[in-house]
A and B are shown apart, each in its own frame.
Chain A
Amino acid sequence: MNRQSTASSLPAPVLPHVWEPASAQEAITLKRQYGADSAYVAGSTLLRTQWEGGLLTIPAHMIRLDTIEGLNGIMEDEQQIRIGALTTLRECGHDHRLRIHGNTCSTACRHIAAPAVRNLGTIGGNISSAVGDMIPALLVHDARLVWMDTEHHPSEYEQELVDWLEQVRVGRRSLYAVLLGIVIDKSGPDTAPDLHNHQNSAPFHTSLSSEPSWREISFYRKVGRREAFTPSLVTVAFRALMNREGVLVNVKAAAGGGAGLAMRLSRCEQLLEGKVYDPRYTAELAALVEKEWVSYSDPFASESYRRQTAGNLLAAGLWETLHQEMERG
């Protein structure tokens, strides 16, 4: 086995130029001007590890987004919560409105990296990485992303997070778009669907009674290689409405973790939708997730481990949440 190689040369040591645009339009203009030699940066907590590790080349032009006003903070109206893309993970994790209306998101923010990283890292950066731990949590809230991708007015538009992930998956993600914010709908019983449309067969039996008293159940689970300050191996999120009889509707489940793209678990959702969850079938639910979720192997965890863990976390999370609900009566 003989082959020859030559140590590669690096470009001359030039420090990156850091641009400080005042608006998203200006940032996009810069990005279009410098193209692949440039990158949007904000907290830079993930980017700097990727630069140091050689996973990404340090760009010649860094375009700061944190100099743009109006992209920071959380706002609400009667129906929606809008999170500015530059809101730090720490702010998101401590915001009481997000705790009430986006519980999985709030929990996720408190479990990303370490406090120092959460003080700098932004929710926009976490999403833009396409592998952030926020993404499964946002998926179960049907989050929409607010983008701007041209300099021309009006250019702001909303896009379903799930659709953007699909663009990423097929390599059609916009290179220039600036993420302005994230929108989620507030939780509420008025979104409960018509139960007559949800008559699936066993193992989950169907309840047709129309129970007015719906409450949200949700959970978020993350497993890394240690307890904290660790990349995720597996992240799952779940959200549904449940009535007093235990009927689940508006079921949303998602899984992600590591360098894999997060995804909604639609077969799992269909299985539970409109049914009374029977804990005897926990193993079956876990197996379904395991089958549905697409993951990968790396030196730290095999694909089969990730899949089984995702199934376990989702099934047990539901079991545990219902257990707690029953305890509360």
Chain B
Amino acid sequence: MLLNRENSGERWRKRRDGREKVTGELRYLTDMTAEGMLYGRVLRSSHPHARILSLDTSAAEAYEGVIAVITYRDVPGLNRFGIAVPDQPALCEDMVRYIGDAVAAVAAVTPEIAEYALSLIRVNYEVLETITDPLRALEDTAPRLHPQGNVLHRTQVKQGDADTVLQNCTYVVKEVYSTPRQMHAYMETEGGLFVPEPDGRLTVYAPTQHGYKDRMQIARILDWEEERIRVISSPIGGSFGGKDELNVQPYGSLLALKSGRPVKMHNSRMESVRAGLKRHPMRIEMETGMDEHGRLQAHRVRIVADTGAYATLGAPVLNFATEHCMGPYRLQHVDVEGVSVYTNNGVSGEFRGFGGNQAIFAMEGQMDRLAEKIGMDPWEFRMLNRRLPDDPGPLQQEIWRTNGLEQVMQALAQSSLWQRRTVDSALPAAVMTGYDPVTSASPVPPWIKRGIGSSLAMHGAGLGYGIDDPAGGRLSLNAQGQIEVAFSYEEFGQGLIATLEIMLMDLFHCTAEDISIVIGDTDLVPHSGSSTASRSTTMAWMALQRLKTPFLQAVLQKAQEMTGIPIDQLTTGEHGIWQMITEEGEEMSRKRVVSYREIAGVTEDKELTFDTKFSYPTTPDEVVGGHFLYTYAAVAAEVEVNTLTGHVKLLDTYHTVAAGPVINPMGFVGQIEGGSVMALGFTLTEDAVMEEGHYMTRNMDTYMIPGIQDMHTSLEVEVIEDLPENDSFGPRGIGEIGSVALAPAITAAIRQATGQWISHLPVPREQLIQRAGRWQQEGVSPR
């Protein structure tokens, strides 16, 4: 089914946080102020790699209006942070490893004084060799950026004898793919308000994707018990993985405690670029062989990921890339090795797609090249080599069986976009009369070439085997007579609140006014894990499935006690409990017998509160990082290449996604559209260019995210909602799947349009530009 407003009926609901957001009325956490508030600023390193010889803050401390200055000496606890591996100094002691490293921080009565005070801090550096190339970092002669060396993490998948089999394959394709340092480019840059409370606690108002994890990390830095810290973390002006790690929280917290006053931190865009996380640039070398019938035989992969100066989630990202570099294909002989390498570049970390985007671009590129080599239609080639429903996962781990892969493949094959793909590649557009249904009357100029490409993806959700992946939730009837859910998930624009609202309305047949949704506050919500890895919707749905029965039984029991009506005649509904009356010979009628508010009025505290705890489903096989639940997607894209300039324009685009039942149609479409646009930037324009450890793209005037005119001319989303009858996992997450497979579809389309294979992203225009006038050789003339 095409998912759109027309096909969704009443389920196409306006999100409850929508109006405030589009009118600008919504107060984000970085909009907050407090009485007596100070302004915090961070002194970042002047060099990408240097030894700190001396650090003198006395002049800054003496400057009028400066209330607090902190250095590493002011960190009472662990002077390190990092979700997976805490190796990043909150404030550097003796070494700086990238130009975003924090050396000191200041709180002052005005932002200008705070900024000026930074210039009064004297830091003497001994500048060291800057390592910008991960391959250089791996050399024995390279300086060691960390005590254990420059390798953060290695991965390996060995199966069969790939080397030998590759030598005997009829066809082999070998290619090196490289991908950009993409920036999250969220609307709201990192920041927050840090308030020391009279009772000795600290309240942190700062966006994150996991409030409890931030609380743990801040407590570790402050050497406090976690419970003394309250983290309020929603609403958030975009994150895409970028705010899952700590950013300004260490400085805000330390400055607030040292000064005893609220401190506001808010990164400028330039500081956000300088200090913030980026997507891992990867170099992926692939050698893939097949037999004379086009059946894949062997696959050899080498991944080098530039993780930058510190670990954060670099290791899990590499795990994910390793798992996904084999794609949804049957491969008997596999030899994959990955390495995530420290450099003096900006820190790479979590980013929507989590390493899948890079791996899928490379693997799908291989599929297109192999198909062409043997003269097969690229989709038929994929169909021939696809995994079958009973096959294990890419790491040979047990996965949950669905028909999603087969279904998305069939859907794409039948899509109108794919069906109009011509096998006669690279025809001059000017002779393709009638090609464009809108402008068919006027032929396209001869320097415009069009093509259509496709790609396929299976994408794991959840954190994977061996990684703590808690889930849970709380369901209650609150004192105001509302059905209240509480989760530690966050709303960063993805539509969580709207999705939860629809889930509750579906479950209890109530109205939006009957519902209260509590998220983003560690004092109020249970620990149900993070909003990452496309997991929140699935976890919320599973939690509610567990909670609804005890909740309903208790609420209806209460209603029975209050009304005397048998419980089997009662059900939840609009604004309260309804009696269903069926009399012989008459249609069933219903009437409301008691309101939720009335029930709340006679309920003891916590009497109608239910909690659940569980973990995200994982494969039973001991394969660290291996996933159990997968979402499947196929993408078709049509592009227009202007060979005068090498500029690529994305035209019609089609995404089909098999992710179980759609809860929130508008949110679903929004996620796929948003992911697809982000992938468009990854493919065509976005790269945080670094030279010698410094960003050349220091602001949004040189870092090019797609604007409205760059976006797809149309985007269709077709959903496959089928799940096996025994499936108890409900809707799968779709937060990332829209972003992972567009790039290879675009590059396949470019191949059809121009004959050029693209292996580097963003697509180099230099590779597509052709000398004007070549079309004369193709017989096109203005006369």
Chain A residues in the interface with B (C-beta under 8 A): 1-10, 12-13, 15, 49, 52-53, 223, 225-231, 234, 279-287, 299-302, 304-305, 308-309, 311-313, 315-316, 319-320, 322-323, 326
What residues of chain A lie closer than 8 Å to B689, measured between beta carbons?
299-300
Partner of A226, one of B691, B710, B771: B710
Q: Which residues of A contact B115 (CB under 8 A)?
A: 13
Give complex CA distance A226, B144 in Å: 39
Give the complex CA separation of A286 and B127 in angstroms: 47
**A326 to B363 CA separation, bound complex (whole angstroms):** 48
Task: Please state if B701 and A231 are interface contacts (CB–CB under 8 Å).
Answer: yes
Given contacts A226-B706, A285-B773, A300-B689, 11 further A-B contacts (CB under 8 A): A4-B127, A6-B122, A13-B115, A53-B699, A227-B709, A234-B645, A286-B772, A301-B765, A305-B769, A316-B445, A320-B782
Interchain CB contact under 8 A, B704 and A225: yes
Q: A298: nearest residue on chain B (CB-CB)?
A: B696
Interface flags for B751-783 (1: CB within 8 Å of A; 0: not) read 000000000000001100111111010000111
Shortest distance between the CB of A57 and any CB in chain B (Å): 14
Q: Which of A223, A226, A299 contacts B696 (CB 8 A)?
A: A299
Question: A320 is contacted by which of B445, B710, B776 (Cβ under 8 Å)?
Answer: B445
A residues within 8 A CB of B691? 299
Q: Is the CB of B385 closer than 8 A to any CB of chain A?
A: no
Chain B residues with CB under 8 Å of A234's CB are: 645
- Could you list 28 A-B pairs, sorted by A, with CB under 8 Å? A5-B124, A7-B119, A7-B121, A12-B116, A49-B699, A49-B701, A223-B647, A226-B707, A226-B709, A226-B710, A227-B710, A228-B709, A231-B702, A234-B645, A282-B772, A282-B776, A283-B771, A283-B772, A285-B772, A286-B773, A299-B696, A308-B771, A309-B646, A311-B772, A312-B772, A315-B772, A320-B445, A326-B783
Whether B123 sits at the interface, judged by CB under 8 Å, is yes
With A1-B127, A7-B46, A300-B689 as given contacts, are A313 and B644 in contact (CB-CB < 8 Å)?
yes
A5: chain B residues at CB < 8 Å are: 46-47, 50, 124-125, 127
User: Which B residues lie within 8 Å of A308 (CB)?
Assistant: 769, 771
Q: How far is the CB of B42 from chain A (nearest CB, A)?
A: 13
Q: Is there an interface contact between B776 and A309, defined as CB atoms closer than 8 Å?
A: no
Whether B127 pairs with A228 at a CB distance below 8 angstroms is no
Residue of A nearest to B103 (CB): A7
Instruction: Check: B379 CB closer than 8 A to any chain A CB.
Output: no
Give Cα A279 to B777, complex, Å.
Answer: 12
Contact in complex: A323, B782 (CB < 8 Å): yes
Cross-chain contact B112 with A13 (CB below 8 angstroms): yes
Proximity string of chain B (120-144) to chain A, C-beta cutoff 8 Å, 1 when within and 0 when not? 1111111111000000000000000
Chain A residues with Cβ below 8 Å from B772 are 282-283, 285-286, 311-312, 315-316, 319
Closest to B762 in A: A225
Classify chain B's interface size.
Answer: 35 or more
A299 contact set on B, CB distance < 8 A: 689, 691, 696-697
A235 CB, nearest partner CB in chain B, Å: 12
Most A CB contacts (10 A, CB to CB) among B445, B772, B776 go to B772
Across the two chains, which residue of chain A brings its CB closest to B684? A226
B270 on interface, CB distance cutoff 8 Å: yes
The reply to whether A227 and B707 contact each other, CB–CB distance below 8 Å, is yes
Q: A9-B119, A226-B685, A305-B766 are in contact. Are A53 and B698 (CB under 8 A)?
A: yes
Q: How far is the CB of B476 from chain A (nearest CB, A)?
A: 47
Which residues of chain A are near B113, meaning CB under 8 Å?
13
Alpha-carbon distance A55/B710, docked complex (angstroms): 28
Q: B53 in the interface, Cβ–Cβ < 8 Å? A: yes
Interface pair A283/B783, CB less than 8 Å apart: no
Q: Which of A4, A226, A300, A323 contacts B126 (CB 8 A)?
A: A4
User: In the complex the two chains form, is B771's CB within 8 Å of A1's CB?
Assistant: no
Give the complex CA separation of A234 and B765 in angstroms.
13
Question: Chain B residue with minimal CB distance to A225?
Answer: B704
Could you tell me which B residues sit within 8 Å of A by CB distance? 43, 46-47, 50, 53, 112-113, 115-116, 119-129, 270, 445, 447, 644-647, 649, 685, 689, 691, 696-699, 701-702, 704, 706-707, 709-710, 765-766, 769-774, 776, 781-783
Please list the 10 inter-chain residue pairs (A to B) with the smallest Cβ-Cβ separation, ordered nearest first.
A283-B773, A323-B782, A282-B773, A227-B709, A312-B644, A10-B119, A13-B116, A312-B772, A286-B772, A315-B772
The distance in angstroms between the C-alpha atoms of A10 and B116, with both chains bound, is 7
> How far does the alpha carbon of A13 sit from the alpha carbon of B111 in the complex, in Å?
10
A52 B270 Cβ-Cβ under 8 A: yes
Contact assessment for B126 and A312 in the assembled complex, using a CB-CB cutoff below 8 Å: no
Closest residue of A by beta carbon distance from B775: A282
Q: Are B119 and A283 in contact (CB under 8 A)?
A: no
Chief secondary structure at chain B's binding surface:
loop
Residues of the B chain whose Cβ atoms lie less than 8 Å from the Cβ of A322 = 782
Say whether A228 contacts B445, CB under 8 Å. Answer: no
| A319 engages B644 (CB within 8 Å) | no
Chain B neighbourhood of A281, CB < 8 A: 773
Give every chain A residue within 8 A of B445 (Cβ-Cβ): 316, 320
Q: Is the CB of B127 within 8 A of A309?
A: no
Residue of B647, B706, B710, B773 with most chain A CB atoms under a 10 A cut-off = B773
Q: In the complex, what distance in Å separates the CA atom of A226 from the CA atom of B709?
A: 8
Taking CB as reference atom, which chain A residue is nearest B117?
A13
A312/B782 contact (C-beta < 8 A), A2-B126, A226-B710, A282-B776 known: no
* Nearest residue, chain A, Cβ from B127: A3
Separation of A227 and B644 alpha carbons in the complex (Å): 15
Closest to B59 in A: A9
The distance from the CB of A27 to the nearest CB of chain B, in whole angstroms, is: 27
A2 B127 Cβ-Cβ under 8 A: yes
B685 in contact with A225 (CB, 8 Å): yes
Chain A residue at minimum C-beta to C-beta distance from B268 = A52
Name the B residues within 8 Å of A279 (CB-CB). Answer: 776, 781-783
* Beta-carbon contact of B776 and A1 below 8 Å: no
Roughly how many angstroms separate A61 CA and B133 CA in the complex, as a whole number?
Answer: 44
**CB < 8 Å: which of A223, A230, A302, A311 contacts B766?**
A302
Q: Are A4 and B125 in contact (CB under 8 A)?
A: yes
- Decide: B685 and A309 in contact? CB cutoff 8 A: no
How far is B698's CA from A300's CA once the two chains are assembled, in angstroms? 13
Question: What's the minimum C-beta distance from B480 to chain A, rounded to whole angstroms?
Answer: 43
Interface centre among A13, A228, A305, A311 (most CB of B within 10 A): A13
Q: How far does the Cβ of B722 sit from chain A's closest Cβ, in whole Å?
A: 39
Instruction: Report chain A residues within 8 Å CB of B773.
Output: 281-286, 315
Find chain B residues with CB under 8 A from A326 CB: 782-783
CB pair B782 A286 closer than 8 Å: no
Given contacts A52-B270, A279-B782, A283-B776, contact A226 B704 (CB under 8 A): yes
- The complex places the Cα of A280 from the Cα of B779 at a distance, in Å, of 11
Q: Report how far A319 CA is from B112 CA in the complex, Å.
A: 55
Query: Chain A residues with Cβ under 8 A from B125's Cβ?
Result: 4-7
Are A316 and B704 closer than 8 Å at their CB atoms?
no
Instruction: Return the contact of B644 from the options A4, A228, A309 (Cβ within 8 A).
Output: A309
CB distance from B581 to the nearest CB of A (A): 61
Measured CB to CB, the nearest residue on chain A to B115 is A13
Q: A299: shortest Cβ distance to chain B, in Å?
A: 4
Partner of A6, one of B124, B701, B706: B124
> Which residues of the partner chain A approach B774 to less than 8 Å between Cβ atoms?
283
A277 to B494, CA, bound (A): 56
CB distance from B763 to the nearest CB of A (A): 12
* Pair B129/A1 contact, Cβ less than 8 Å: yes
In the bound complex, how far is the Cα of B697 from the Cα of A13, in angstroms? 27
Query: How many angstroms between the C-alpha atoms of A228 and B776 in the bound complex?
Result: 30
Cβ-defined contact, A280 with B776, below 8 A: yes
Q: How far is the CA of A301 from the CA of B120 in the complex (A)?
A: 38
Distance A305 CA – B767 CA, assembled complex (angstroms): 10
The chain B residue sitting closest to A319, CB to CB, is B782
Task: For the complex, give the distance between the alpha carbons of A226 and B701 in Å.
Answer: 11
What are the residues of chain A within 8 A of B769 when measuring CB–CB?
305, 308-309, 312
Complex-state Cα separation, A4 to B54, whole angstroms: 11
A-chain residues with CB within 8 Å of residue B765 when the two chains form the complex? 301, 305
Select the residue from B124, B128, B691, B704 with max chain A CB neighbours within 10 A: B704
A3, B126: Cα distance in complex, Å: 6
Contacts of A9 in B (CB 8 A): 119-120
